[in-house]
Amino acid sequence: MDPLKVTFLGPAASFSHQAAVETFGNSSELIPCLSFADAIASVQNQRAEYAIVPFENSTNGSVVQTLDLLVDRSGAYNDVVVCGEYYLAVHHCLLARKGLFPASQRDYSSITKLYTHPQAWGQCEEFLRKHFKGVERQDVSSTSKAGENVLRTTTEANAAIASRFAGEHYGLDILEENIEDTANNTTRFLVLRNAKSERTTQNGFESVKASSTQGQPLTVSKTKKTLTSFMVRQDAPGTLADALLIFKDFGMNLTSICTRPSQIQAWNYVFLVESETDQDKEVVMDIVKNLREVTENCRHLGTWANQLVSE
């Protein structure tokens, strides 16, 4: 059988690429895409079995582009559903060309330029203030691109801030690890599949994951998460509260609610509601049935095993 195809937002060595490798292993065919929309469209068109996309970051919150694709206002991704999640710890490293700074003499004073994504400067402020005060900073479109730049620019002493994964991908020296200010910065990824795909139904994501983790014990999660989206009628005050009450009535715990513009009418919203339960899947179907009676365009966007290990 052909290897499973998995799409993610590129370039190679991006955080999404790392999440794809850690989730699906290297026996799958991992396909970088130019946009989140391309990654999801591949699942809708069944050119790929799975897509893996960032959903939220523990510090910065929702990834709005992903929310908007899941909201799917034009119905372009009707068959795409969430079938799993993966938590990726975000760590930054200081990377340089191999051999430029031997381990015995880690003096960074000759570094004249640093590359990274604009968000990463803010995440490593303390380290940068301590070691790189006044050094030129060049913004690039991704931390992975920063690693690539350092590999290719051989005319000057420069360094990148990027992941260990990117450093290994480009064969760079990892000068320093975990240089971020805040510990526990984590991005949650969602794994998407096509609800009509026979291959992903027969060979579910949980079993793919089991084989890619090569015999490591699986986290046995007791709870399931469910994502639903709906709009409420503007002429019916109280409907949003009524809709949310349905989850409570069926014993599901609301864990988060995201609001996006409907883009049909100004100040009309689509709500994305994530909820959790330790009951079986039948409950979700009952909830969706009841939601459809009070809301508009209600969609069950998937139910999957909770992977968050409580502290």
Among 3, 237, 280, 281, binds its own copies (CB under 8 A): 237
- CB of 281 vs its own copies, minimal distance in Å: 19
DSSP SS3 for 109 = helix
Per DSSP bridges, beta strands 50-57 and 5-9 are: parallel
Name the phi and psi angles at 142, rounded to 5: -160, 160
The correct pick among 46, 59, 203, 297 for binding its own copies (CB under 8 A) is 59
- Is 196 a binding residue for its own copies by CB under 8 A? The answer is no
Q: Is 186 in the site for its own copies (CB under 8 A)?
A: yes
DSSP-derived secondary structure for 147-165: HHHHHH--SS-EEEEE-HH
- 271 sits near its own copies (criterion: CB under 8 A): yes
Alpha carbon distance 31, 21 (integer Å): 11
Question: According to CB under 8 A, which residues from 275 to 304 bind its own copies?
Answer: 276
* 74 counts as binding its own copies under rule CB under 8 A: no
Residue closer to its own copies (CB basis): 43 or 273: 273
Residues near its own copies (CB under 8 A), total:
38
Query: In terms of CB distance, is 50 or 230 closer to its own copies?
Result: 230
Are 14 and 144 within 8 A, CB to CB?
Answer: yes
Using the rule CB under 8 A, which residue among 256, 288, 292, 297 binds its own copies?
Answer: 256
Strands (E), 195-290: 224-232, 253-261, 269-277
CB 215: neighbour CB atoms within 10 A? Answer: 7
Residue of the chain from 115, 170, 269, 304 that contacts its own copies (CB under 8 A): 269
Q: Is 242 in the site for its own copies (CB under 8 A)?
A: yes
Q: How far is the CB of 67 from its own copies (least distance, A)?
A: 9
Residue among 184, 207, 211, 219 that touches its own copies (CB under 8 A): 184
Instruction: Select from 238, 279, 286, 293 the one that contacts its own copies (CB under 8 A).
Output: 238
Specify the stretch interacting with its own copies by CB under 8 A; choose among 46-54, 61-69, 109-117, 191-199: 61-69
CA dihedral (95, 137, 91, 99) in degrees, to 10, reads 10
**CA-to-CA distance for 244 and 234, rounded, in angstroms?**
16
What values do phi and psi take at 70, rounded to 5? -70, -35
Binding its own copies by CB under 8 A: which of 3, 61, 122, 204?
A: 61
Q: Examine residue 247 and tell whether it contacts its own copies (CB under 8 A).
A: yes
Q: Binding of its own copies at residue 264 (CB under 8 A)?
A: no
Q: How many CA atoms lie within 13 A of 308 on its CB side?
A: 13
Please enumerate in sequence order all residues whose Cβ is within 8 A of that of 259, keeping only pairs 6 or more positions apart, or say none. 269, 270, 271, 272
> Which residue stretch of 12-20, 119-127, 137-145, 263-271 sits at the interface with its own copies (rule: CB under 8 A)?
263-271
**Is residue 267 close enough to count as binding its own copies by CB under 8 A?**
yes
Compute CA distances 138 → 27, 51, 117, 157, 168, whole Å: 36, 31, 9, 14, 22
Q: Provide the binding-site residues for its own copies, judged by CB under 8 A.
A: 56-62, 64, 184, 186, 188, 237-238, 240-242, 244-245, 247-248, 253-261, 263, 265-267, 269, 271, 276, 308, 311
